[in-house]
Amino acid sequence: MLKTEEAFDLLKDGRRIYTVSQLNRQSRLLLESRFSTVWVEGEISNFKHHSSGHIYLTLKDESAQIQAAFFSQYQRGLRFELKDGLKVLAFCRVSIYEARGQYQLYIERVEPQGVGALQLAFQQLKERLAKEGLFGEERKRPIPKFPKIVGVITSPTGAAIQDILNVVNRRFCGTHVLLYPVKVQGEGAAKEIAAAIEMMNQHSEADVLIVGRGGGSLEDLWAFNEEPVARAVFGSRIPVISAVGHESDWTICDLVADLRAPTPSAAAELVVSSRLELEERLLGRRERLDLAMNGIFERSREQLSSLASSAAFRQPRYLLDQFTG
């Protein structure tokens, strides 16, 4: 509200006179009191991401448009990429930028319209990484058949590591497991997973890496859909098996990895050969080798017997006389 002395000055001569600043201020207060926070739907246009981190854009529909600002401190929970043409729901304050008298929105939260934010983020990142060639089959490497050391990047307290250890001990107890403990969900999980992959590569002790966790919701598994993990898997010199505990849905990590396993247990089955199966195969090959060698010996014995019963061996003097007589 105007101060008393201001009101007195402005009412002189019977006219209410406002300065431009006063009018903008009063308009702002009136607008903010009527629309403190609102949800606004519209299509993004004139999208600009400033070097400061702030985003400036226009929201429009078929017949109108309004400018909006999305300051960097409100973008921390934003998982998908804003761009021109995207239809969104924006939770914002309505105000006036007094210096210019410009009516605009100040966005505090934004959601994609018609599709979930996480699903949209997944699709956007998938399309971008596919264009860069991160999913190419030609770059995927074979998994070693008999690794001496299997690196596992997962939670140290989850079911995944126990499942992997059980399978390894059952199938080939001589295989060593090197665990790099990380968070597998929540704030900072993706950075920890990516850092673990890079650290495993720096030390170069493991012959193959299993990166994964047990099952969960899309939100629980989200760390394996983040770009830092995808980049780390792509850059790994050690072959990577992605083993996120879900049967049907694929994560970004699955798409980049050299091999995808539906569960951590399945990953261990794929990477560690069964000792019993290996022994059975070796025994079968030994038996085939014995049969082959026995066949060779038998044929050689028959040939030697045939030679021993020939005239050349029984009457060598007679044959010699025939040729020298």
Do both 12 and 45 map to the same domain?
Answer: yes
Torsion 186-190-191-194 (CA) sign: positive
Domain boundary at 69, 94, 114, which?
A: 114
pLDDT for 310: 72
Do both 251 and 264 map to the same domain?
Answer: yes
pLDDT for 276: 59
Do both 108 and 169 map to the same domain?
Answer: no
pLDDT for 10: 54
Q: Which residue, 192, 218, 217, is CA-closest to 123?
A: 218
| Domain range for 73 | 4-114
Do both 55 and 126 map to the same domain?
Answer: no
CATH of the domain at 248: 3.40.50.10550
Residue 92 backbone dihedrals phi, psi, to 5 degrees: -150, 165
Do both 20 and 150 map to the same domain?
Answer: no
CATH of the domain at 75: 2.40.50.140
pLDDT for 319: 63
Helix (H, G, I), strand (E, B) or coil at 216: coil
Tally of structural domains, the chain: 3
Do both 83 and 214 map to the same domain?
Answer: no
Rounded to 5 degrees, what angle do the CA atoms 115, 117, 119 make? 70
pLDDT for 8: 46
Each residue's pLDDT tens digit, 148-167: 899 999 999 988 999 999 99
Whole-model pTM?
A: 0.64
Residue ranges for the chain with pLDDT beneath 50: 1, 4, 8
pLDDT for 318: 65
Strand order in the sheet with 149-154: 176-181, 149-154, 208-213, 240-244, 259-260
Do both 84 and 140 map to the same domain?
Answer: no
Do both 163 and 222 map to the same domain?
Answer: yes
Do both 19 and 149 map to the same domain?
Answer: no
